Amino acid sequence: DIQMTQSPSSLSPSVGDRVTITCRASQDISNSLAWYQQIPGKAPKLLLFAASRLESGVPSRFSGSGSGTDYTLTISSLQPEDFATYYCQQYYSTPYTFGQGTKLEIK
Amino acid sequence: EVQLVESGGDLVQPGGSLRLSCAASGFTFSSHEMNWVRQAPGKGLEWVSYIGATGTTIYYADSVRGRFTISRDNAQNSLYLQMNRLRAEDTAVYYCARDSSYGYFDSGTYYNVNAFDMWGQGTMVTVAS
C-alpha cells in the first residue's frame, strides 16, 4: 500500500497569509494526487487533481505542485472561508490512500 | 440538481449487518465509477471500496474485504454497500463519492484521473452494544 504523509498536522495562520501544506508518498505516484478541503460537519470537496489541475469553480488562490513522491498545496492569500482541514489523496493505485489531514485554525 | 444522497446508516450491534444506499441524480450515473469512503469520529478519511461503471471491476480496503460488498444498479441510479460482521471500528460516517472518470493527455501520454469530484452528505453508522 502507498502511504501518504502530510505535514504539518495543524497550522494557525492569519487571514491574508500564504499557506503551504506538503504531502509525501511512500513511492512515486506520477502526479496521481488530489487535494480536498473539508469544513467540519460537511463532506470533503475536491480542490485539485493531477497534482496541479484546479477543479472547476475552485478559487485561483489554491494551487498545487510537485512530482514523484513530493507534493505541495499552496493557498496564496488565506481567506476566512479557507479555515478547514485539508487532505491529500493518491489515486495511483488501490487501495487509494489519504494523508492524515492538515487543520487550519484561526489564529 | 446534481447530487448524491446516502441513506441506511443506523446503530447496530457488533456482528450485525447493515445495507447503505446512495441515490444519484442530475448526471449520467452509469458513466461513472463510484466509491465508498468513511470517516471515524474525529479522524481522517479512509477509502473503503470502488466499483467500475458497469459493476465488473471491484476493489476493497483490506479492513473490510470479506465483510463488505459493494454493488450498483445503473437502472435505478443507485450505489450500495452491504456491511456484514460489523465491528466497533467500523463506526464512521460513510460517504459515497463519484469518481471523476476523467482523463487527459500530457506529453503524449494518457492519464486517468480517479479523484472524487462529488460527495454525498454522508450517513452515520454506529456499531455498539
The predicted model gives B15-35 an average pLDDT of 97
B107 phi-psi bin (left φ>0, alpha ψ -120 to 50, beta other): left
Look up residue B67 and give its three cell numbers.
465483510
> Strand runs (DSSP E) across A30-83, as ranges?
33-38, 45-49, 53-54, 62-67, 70-75
- At A36-64, the pLDDT tens digits run 999 999 999 999 999 999 999 999 999 99
pLDDT of amino acid B56:
96
Report the distance separating Cα B36 and Cα B95, nearest Å. 6
Percent of chain A surpassing pLDDT 70: 100
Closest chain B residue to A86, measured at CA: B44
Among the partner-chain residues A31, A94, A101, the one whose CB lies closest to the CB of B50 is A94
The model's confidence at residue B104, banded by pLDDT at 50, 70 and 90, is: confident
Among the partner-chain residues B37, B59, B119, the one whose CB lies closest to the CB of A94 is B59
Q: State whether A50 and B46 contact (CB < 8 Å).
A: no
3-state secondary structure of A54: strand
Q: Position B28: which residue type?
A: T
> Counting one residue from A and one from B, how many pairs have CB atoms under 8 Å apart?
68
Report the distance separating Cα A83 and Cα B10, nearest Å. 31
pLDDT of amino acid B102:
85
The model's confidence at residue A69, banded by pLDDT at 50, 70 and 90, is: very high
Burial B6-16 (b: 16+ CB within 10 A, else e): bebbeebeeee
Q: State whether B45 and A89 contact (CB < 8 Å).
A: yes
Interface residues of chain A, partner chain B, Cβ below 8 Å: 1, 30-32, 34, 36, 38, 42-46, 49-50, 53, 55, 87, 89, 91, 94-101
The predicted model gives B119-127 an average pLDDT of 98
- At A80-103, the pLDDT tens digits run 999 999 999 999 999 999 999 999
Among the partner-chain residues A30, A46, A101, the one whose CB lies closest to the CB of B116 is A46
Q: State whether A49 and B115 contact (CB < 8 Å).
A: yes
Report the distance separating Cα B49 and Cα B80, nearest Å. 11
Among the partner-chain residues B44, B111, B120, the one whose CB lies closest to the CB of A50 is B111
